[in-house]
Amino acid sequence: EVQLVESGGGLIQPGGSLRLSCVASGFTVNSNYMSWVRQAPGKGLEWVSVMYSGGVTYYAGSVKGRFIISRDNSKNTLYLQMNNLRAEDTAVYYCARDVAVNNYYFYMDVWGKGTTVTVSS
């Protein structure tokens, strides 16, 4: 069964760091594009970051320079290192498998259940 399971969320003070993990089963992370998408409380979806199968990464402007996406092929796991966290980063963070289009664009066909990050003092 194809599945994504996120972990690592929690309550963190502004300026702090947190690392989210996403363990995949039923497919190989490094053979797919993989994204992080977040959803602030009561709000819509916001794409955060993507890692292409070849290792290229991109970020939303709101997190560029603060967040780092990476993967561990031996663990079939995707990560999101979040630094210098702000109150506006408070959200449920979803890991998603992407369907690549023309080697650049993508949409999400498999989603995890999400992990909650709360940034507050």
Partner 1 sequence: EILLTQSPGTLSLSPGERATLSCRASQSVNSGRLAWYQQKPGQSPRLLMYDASSRATGISDRFSGSGSGTDFALTISRLEPEDFAVYYCQQYGSSPVTFGQGTRLEIK
Query: What distance lies between CA 10 and its chain's CA centroid?
Result: 15
For partner 1, the closer of residues 16 and 52 by Cβ is 52
For partner 1, the closer of residues 15 and 40 by Cβ is 40
Nearest in space to 80 (alpha carbons), one of 35, 30, 24: 35
- 46 counts as binding partner 1 under rule CB under 8 A: yes
Question: For 6, how many CA atoms within 13 A lie in the half-sphere containing its CB?
Answer: 25
Return the residue of 11, 56, 87, 101 that touches partner 1, per CB under 8 A: 101
Return the residue of 86, 87, 103, 105 that touches partner 1, per CB under 8 A: 105
- 106 counts as binding partner 1 under rule CB under 8 A: yes
- Give me the sign of the Cα torsion angle 34, 25, 10, 43: positive
Inter-CA distances, 10 with 91, 103, 115, Å: 10, 34, 8
Which tokens hold the place of 79?
A: 């990560």
For residue 3, the minimal CB distance to partner 1 (Å) is 11
* Contact residues for partner 1, defined by CB under 8 A: 37, 44-47, 58, 60-61, 94, 99, 101, 104-109, 111-114
